[in-house]
Amino acid sequence: MKRRLTIYTVTSLLLILAWFLLIYSPTVQRKQALNLRINEAEQQLADFNRTMEELPQYLKASNNLERFKNELNSSLYAKSDILELLEQITGDAVDNGLTVVEISPPVKELLLLNRATDLETEPQFLNITLSLSGKYLDFGKYVGHLETTPYFRKINSCTARGAREVQPEVSFTLSFKALIGAARGKA
């Protein structure tokens, strides 16, 4: 009888151990793995919900930035900038002792600028031809000043015509490329 009791007890303990190792332990491990995946999924869901809550603010900020960019572009290439640029060029020439005889941007370029949309992101350039009269030194000072202005990009051509006098009045023709809207940025 004792032997039977011992066999039943040992068998019961072995069955309990087998149940624990084969059924209970793997079930607990699967449950822990599932809980971990559930926690990760809940974290992702919380991140997604937070992103969705922030989306209207992001879209509003994006639209505001786009509107601001369009306003900057439209003010950068405003037609009044061309007039301001020409007035500044004339004023600088007079300040350097030169007389402006003529300023002539090419009509073709003006027509292209007139058709340009406010949403263009490329900088707009204009070739300007100046006819000036004055002294050599004054012209040299003016060209030196012109090269330091924010709108100046490069000289296309330059000619000087004058008599063989000691202090002659010389006629100058200067053609250069200017960035439209850059004069406003400096002011």
For the segment 13-62, what is each residue's pLDDT rounded down to a tens digit? 999 988 888 888 888 999 999 999 999 999 999 999 999 999 899 999 99
pTM (2 decimals)?
0.51
Distance CA(181)–CA(158), nearest Å, equals 24
Per the prediction, the chain carries an average pLDDT of 83
Q: What is the pLDDT of residue 185?
A: 47
Query: Helices then strands (H, E): number in the chain?
Result: 6, 4
Task: Report CA-CA distances (Å) from 118 to 10, 69, 177.
Answer: 91, 10, 21
For the chain, which residues make up each domain, given as ranges? 1-76, 79-186
Q: What is the largest CA-CA distance in the chain?
A: 144
Segment 78-104, tens digit of pLDDT: 567 777 888 888 888 899 888 888 888
Segment 124-157, tens digit of pLDDT: 788 889 899 988 888 889 999 999 998 888 999 9
Distance CA(112)–CA(117), nearest Å, equals 10
Segment 156-185, tens digit of pLDDT: 999 988 877 766 688 889 999 988 765 554
Distance CA(180)–CA(82), nearest Å, equals 6
Q: Confirm or reject CATH 3.30.70.60 for domain 79-186, answering yes or no.
A: yes
> What SS3 state is found at 78?
coil
Q: What is the pLDDT of residue 115?
A: 64
Residue 76: pLDDT above 70? no
The 8-class DSSP code of residue 178 comes to E
Q: What is the pLDDT of residue 78?
A: 57
* Angle at 178 (CA atoms; ends 172, 183), nearest 5 degrees: 110
Helix ranges restricted to H, 20-126: 25-76, 79-95, 107-115
Q: What is the pLDDT of residue 169?
A: 81
Q: What is the pLDDT of residue 74?
A: 59
Distance CA(140)–CA(149), nearest Å, equals 15
